Structure 1
Amino acid sequence: MIILKINYNKKIGKNNTGHIVLRHRKKGKKSLYIPIDSNYFNHINNNNLCIRLLGETSNDMYRNTKLILCIITKDDGVKEFRYILKPNKKSYGDFIKFFDKTNKSFGDVNCLNSFDINDKVYNIEFKPLINSKICTAAECNSILLNKIKNYIKIKLPSNKIKQLNNKCYAVYGNSEKLIVNSINKAGTKMSFGNRPKVRGSAMNACDHPHGGGEGKAPIGKKSIYSFKGKKVKGIKTVKTKNDCYK
């Protein structure tokens, strides 16, 4: 049995003692969380497998992509319903194919070794038989560059090159973006869990390193400081030594 919707407690940026650790957060509007199937139906290896798409949901507050409900019928006649990321150019009644090398269409699932060079894929596994983690955002995809023995080099959206195993699963194309209405008032942002942001120079001296002074006073320092008192300008923030996408 697959649970389609569950309760989810949002993070409000406070620790166990009640102190604020991450600012500008609140609980926001209550909504159910929809877990998606990032394991490709437990890695089924049938060559003639097709999944039928049933309908889509567009009111998910936790993602910027559309979700679609799909159904699969196993050999023993048992049907399973799961939510997946909606492929672009796919709609109700269409099918998603597994391991089809001849006719590639958006949403088809296959191993990285079966795709051609310069193909665009998304929802990629970091390691074989592990949930997909790469390129899961809306309209996000990677490009296959080269095939070397049992490994394949792909180009990520950040222009970094990553070498993966050729047995990792991926989806052809990209996912469809969720269309959100324009933000006409502050309450729409508050419903998503965002609190208003205040300038540091408008605070008191006890609340921020830039605070204090009469009227519109300058910050009184040579460089910009963060809320915790650390330097912000001219400091390296990326550690390429420990970066997993190097």
Structure 2
Amino acid sequence: MALKNYNPTSPARRGLILVDKSQLWKGKPVKALTEGKHKTGGRNNKGHVTSRGIGGGHKQKYRFIDFKRRKWDVEGTVERIEYDPNRTAYIALIKYDDGELAYIIAPQRLAVGDKVVAGKKTDTKPGNAMLLSEMPVGTICHNIEMKPGKGAQIARSAGTYVQLVGRDRGMVIVRLNSGEQRYIRGECMGTVGAVSNPDNANTNLAKAGRNRWRGKRPLTRGVAKNPVDHPHGGGEGRTSGGRHPVTPWGKPTKGARTRKNKQTDKMIIRSRHAKKKR
């Protein structure tokens, strides 16, 4: 889908670039596949803010998405492509031959009326899901599981994809968008194709109010605060915040490596921080 550029007929329209959603379903979602969604404002059960920058936003319904794709060898037809306020990707409503309805993440080049199927091994068509061990090397895929049967965790956002680059001892080697190469177990499921709505990265909201509609509150810079509120705060005049950028709780940020997960380090072949070959 293309991008829509608006003429500057008002300050709110100047620079506005949105994705054209005219091809999407204009009605409501399937009621049986949705549930009410309660906003927290970033607060936990004690009323304390545990996630900053959250508040307001338009009311939403959560759509149940089939991330597991374990309904094997039952063909489904794409009924429609829908917008989902809970994610950047579009979703597709699938009607299986036995009458069951389900939502899946819509890949690129998936159209209304197309057939999709999940199984141990299927055709490499967009929307088909199969075991990673059965996928041809070089396949572009998304919705990748990290544990068999847990459901997809990798490459679910708009425009993202993973490339399967090799096999080794019951594992597959995948290359992520970040440049990282890692092992994943062959019994995990993956879906062929790249995720829909790749133009989402090129949009421009043009005004702060559009972010408020999405439930995002303004962020105050640390250097603009007092010393009691932030490590960068205080100082005479305008200061840059010191030599070591940190979070409000003193954790290094802006490039400092904070990842500590020794359990999965052995699964990473090439770090995303490694210098890329020219």
TM-score per shorter chain, which class? Answer: 0.7 to 0.9
- Whether 1:202 and 2:224 are equivalent positions in the alignment is yes
- Offset of 1:121 from its aligned partner? 1.3
- Whether 1:15 and 2:47 are equivalent positions in the alignment is no
Q: Are the structure 2 counterparts of residues 44 and 236 from structure 1 closer, same or farther at C-alpha, using a change threshold of 3 Å?
A: closer
- Offset of 1:44 from its aligned partner? 3.1
Tell me the SS of whatever aligns to 2:112.
coil
- Offset of 1:24 from its aligned partner? 1.6
Counterpart contact for 1:66–1:176, Cα < 8 Å: yes
Partner residue in 1 for 2:258: 237
Amino acid aligned to 1:120: I
Partner residue in 1 for 2:32: 3
Counterpart contact for 1:223–1:233, Cα < 8 Å: no
Amino acid aligned to 1:124: I
- Offset of 1:200 from its aligned partner? 2.5
Once the two structures are superposed, what CA deviation does each residue of 1:125-147 show, in whole Å capped at 9, x if it has no partner? 22223312221122222222222
- Provide the C-alpha distance between the structure 2 equivalents of 1:137 and 1:207, rounded to a whole number of angstroms: 34
Give the unaligned 5+ runs of structure 2: 1-30, 269-278
Task: Please point out which of 86, 103, 124 is paired with 1:104.
Answer: 124
Give the unaligned 5+ runs of structure 1: none
- Provide the C-alpha distance between the structure 2 equivalents of 1:13 and 1:200, rounded to a whole number of angstroms: 19
Amino acid aligned to 2:165: L
The farther-off stretch of 196-205 and 178-187 is 178-187
Counterpart contact for 1:24–1:197, Cα < 8 Å: yes
Partner residue in 1 for 2:22: none
Partner residue in 1 for 2:113: 93
Q: Are the structure 2 counterparts of residues 88 and 222 from structure 1 closer, same or farther at C-alpha, using a change threshold of 3 Å?
A: closer
- Provide the C-alpha distance between the structure 2 equivalents of 1:141 and 1:225, rounded to a whole number of angstroms: 32
Partner residue in 2 for 1:144: 164
Counterpart contact for 2:223–2:239, Cα < 8 Å: yes
Partner residue in 2 for 1:157: 177
- Offset of 1:67 from its aligned partner? 0.7
- Provide the C-alpha distance between the structure 1 equivalents of 2:122 and 2:231, rounded to a whole number of angstroms: 62
The farther-off stretch of 109-118 and 234-243 is 234-243
- Provide the C-alpha distance between the structure 2 equivalents of 1:165 and 1:82, rounded to a whole number of angstroms: 26
Counterpart contact for 1:51–1:97, Cα < 8 Å: yes
Percent identity of paired positions between Structure 1 and Structure 2? 27
- Offset of 1:72 from its aligned partner? 0.7
Once the two structures are superposed, what CA deviation does each residue of 1:181-222 show, in whole Å capped at 9, x if it has no partner? 6413211101111111122232234333333355x3326755
- Provide the C-alpha distance between the structure 2 equivalents of 1:105 and 1:161, rounded to a whole number of angstroms: 24
- Provide the C-alpha distance between the structure 2 equivalents of 1:167 and 1:220, rounded to a whole number of angstroms: 49
Tell me the SS of whatever aligns to 1:25.
coil
Q: Are the structure 2 counterparts of residues 55 and 242 from structure 1 closer, same or farther at C-alpha, using a change threshold of 3 Å?
A: same
Amino acid aligned to 1:226: T
- Provide the C-alpha distance between the structure 1 equivalents of 2:171 and 2:238, rounded to a whole number of angstroms: 58
Q: Are the structure 2 counterparts of residues 31 and 178 from structure 1 closer, same or farther at C-alpha, using a change threshold of 3 Å?
A: farther
Counterpart contact for 1:11–1:27, Cα < 8 Å: no
TM-score by length of 1: 0.81
TM-score by length of 2: 0.73
Partner residue in 1 for 2:208: 186
Equivalenced residues, count: 236
Q: What root-mean-square deviation, in Å, do the aligned CA atoms of Structure 1 and Structure 2 show?
A: 2.9
Counterpart contact for 1:53–1:92, Cα < 8 Å: yes
Q: Are the structure 2 counterparts of residues 220 and 105 from structure 1 closer, same or farther at C-alpha, using a change threshold of 3 Å?
A: closer
Amino acid aligned to 1:211: G
- Offset of 1:103 from its aligned partner? 4.9
The farther-off stretch of 88-97 and 155-164 is 155-164
Q: Are the structure 2 counterparts of residues 198 and 100 from structure 1 closer, same or farther at C-alpha, using a change threshold of 3 Å?
A: closer
